[in-house]
């Protein structure tokens, strides 16, 4: 499993990315728009992907990477 520190470092490597709280979890944003959220307690990272990218990544192992509505 990837560490919280590695996730944070990677997310903040995008130009203009900032880390901000979002309810009880951490969000990563660019231009005030969330592109990823991290729930450390549940060990869950959510990343905003296009529909095509969702299908590609979830095809590897749909129990680990899977699309969710909205």
- The domain ranges of the chain are 4-58
Q: What three-state secondary structure class fits 69?
A: coil
Dump pLDDT digits (tens) for 11-70.
999 999 999 999 999 999 999 999 999 999 999 999 999 989 999 999 998 888 888 887
Alpha carbon 11 to its chain's center: 8
Residue 35: per-residue pLDDT: 97
């Amino acid at each position: 499993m990837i560490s919280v520190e590695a996730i944070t470092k990677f997310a903040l490597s995008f130009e203009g990315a900032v880390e901000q709280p979002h309810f009880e979890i951490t969000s990563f944003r660019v231009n005030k728009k969330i592109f990823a959220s991290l729930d450390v307690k549940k060990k869950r990272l959510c990343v905003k992907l296009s529909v095509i990218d969702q299908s590609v990544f979830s095809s590897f192992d749909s129990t680990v990477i899977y699309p969710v509505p909205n």
